[in-house]
Amino acid sequence: MEIGKVRRGLGRSLKTNFTTPSLVRCKKVPIVSPMGYNSPAYLSAVTSPKLHVRIPWLGFLDLGGYVKRMKALYKRLDDFHNYVIDDHIARRKGVTDEEKDFVDVLLQLAEDPNLEVKLTRDCIKGLLQDLLGGGTDTSAATVEWALCEILRQPRIINKAKEELNTVIGRNRWVEENDSPQLPYIEAIIMESMRLHPIVTPLTPHYAIDDCKVAGFDISKGTMVLINTWSIGRDPKSWDSPEEFLPERFLGKETDMLGSNFALLPFGSGRRRCPGYNLGLKMVRTTLANLLHGFEFELAEDVCLEEMYGLNKHPVKPLAVVMEPTLPPHLYRCYVSEE
């Protein structure tokens, strides 16, 4: 349901469909987020090393043109957010409760006179930015890495398809509430998040007190960078850490939401990802449906080299040829939604 709402909200304004398999006959399948949130402009503006951060008095020179680029990016994103909000305001009258999406709900809340903190237009834009910036590229990249890994191991794809055929059958798509019945798909996702955590290092944390960690003194005010990439490959925590082996998670209760420090794809503590629930739902349903509804053939070799950025993607995007495998009427309903 949540995925549907997000999709409808964005789809209405953007005609971007990031969870439904509408890419059937594309040769190269771009797994992208709407509005360039994973564009080089966005990623480099928020992640490139900035000299003036190290030498603050050089800031006024804007070496590298970061401030200029950030202003241009801000303008582009602000125009986009205004467009989405205005589009929703213009269509509000005709939208039923069932059709309401994230933006409709925020607009409705903004009119509530009893809200302790007023939801302004800027707040709505901020929440939209959180949702799109934090929520689309992360989920898409997780699916991309999982596909990169399993396309190299047909054994895993066959096992996943077997699970899907048994649990879901050939006459429907996978729904959100099917996930608990799909432990092998879940294991693929966890294994992919172990080897390819999307946000690594985690966003910088800050020690609010003096403390000792593993014998090291950390003083109050220290910036802490947590390298989830190496934690996920630590032989002290994982057998054969470099191998992609979903089976290692089968039949075990492994937490990936912050209490198990060997697997932290969403971080931990108070700054843990607030969107983990939605993110996992999108990843589970998207990956399961891609595997359920399509045969994949690699158009080019899989690249496992990582590109540095806010979120980790392969240096070379995954390129596959996809052939639908379920009865044709199941694909038609998505086309008619456009």
Which lies closer to ligand HEM via its Cβ, residue 238 or residue 266? 266
Name the nearest CA neighbour of 145 among 200, 201, 202, 196: 196
From CA 270, how far away is CA 110, in angstroms rounded?
Answer: 26
Which lies closer to ligand HEM via its Cβ, residue 9 or residue 267? 267
The answer to whether the annotation marks 273 as part of a ligand binding site is yes
Among 202, 256, 287, 322, binds ligand HEM (CB under 6 A): 202
Name the minimum Å distance from CB 200 to ligand HEM: 8
Among 267, 285, 288, 289, binds ligand HEM (CB under 6 A): 267
Check: CB of residue 332 under 8 Å from CB of residue 24. no
* Site residue total, ligand HEM (CB under 6 A): 23
Site for ligand HEM contains 198 (CB under 6 A): yes
Among 28, 68, 92, 271, binds ligand HEM (CB under 6 A): 271
Beta bridge partners of 205: 224
Distances (CA, A) of 195 to 89, 178, 191, 209, 325: 43, 25, 6, 31, 29
Name the minimum Å distance from CB 286 to ligand HEM: 10
Number of other residues whose CB lies within 10 A of the CB of residue 251: 8
Which lies closer to ligand HEM via its Cβ, residue 129 or residue 321? 129
Which lies closer to ligand HEM via its Cβ, residue 244 or residue 326? 244
Which lies closer to ligand HEM via its Cβ, residue 129 or residue 153? 129
Name the minimum Å distance from CB 336 to ligand HEM: 27
Residue type, 52: H
Q: Could you tell me the two tokens for 184?
A: 């092998």
Among 19, 138, 285, 286, binds ligand HEM (CB under 6 A): 138
Site for ligand HEM contains 130 (CB under 6 A): yes
Q: Could you tell me the two tokens for 156?
A: 């895993």
E strand segments, the chain: 205-206, 211-213, 216-218, 223-224, 294-298, 306-307, 313-314, 320-324
Which lies closer to ligand HEM via its Cβ, residue 183 or residue 275? 275
Q: At what angle do helices 154-167 and 135-150 cross, to 10 degrees?
A: 110
Name the minimum Å distance from CB 229 to ligand HEM: 11
Is the peptide bond preceding residue 201 cis, with omega within 30 degrees of 0? yes
Residue type, 147: L
Residue 207 C-beta-side C-alpha neighbours within 13 Å: 16
Which lies closer to ligand HEM via its Cβ, residue 190 or residue 273? 273
Name the minimum Å distance from CB 321 to ligand HEM: 26
User: Which 273-302 positions form the footprint of ligand HEM (CB under 6 A)?
Assistant: 273-275, 278-279, 283
Name the minimum Å distance from CB 138 to ligand HEM: 4
Name the nearest CA neighbour of 244 among 118, 121, 146: 146
From CA 73, how far away is CA 60, in angstroms rounded?
Answer: 19
Name the minimum Å distance from CB 301 to ligand HEM: 25
Name the nearest CA neighbour of 277 among 149, 139, 173: 139
Binding-site positions for heme = 273
Binding-site positions = 273
The residues that touch ligand HEM, with contacts defined as CB under 6 A, are: 130-131, 134-135, 138-139, 142, 198-199, 202-203, 265-268, 271-275, 278-279, 283
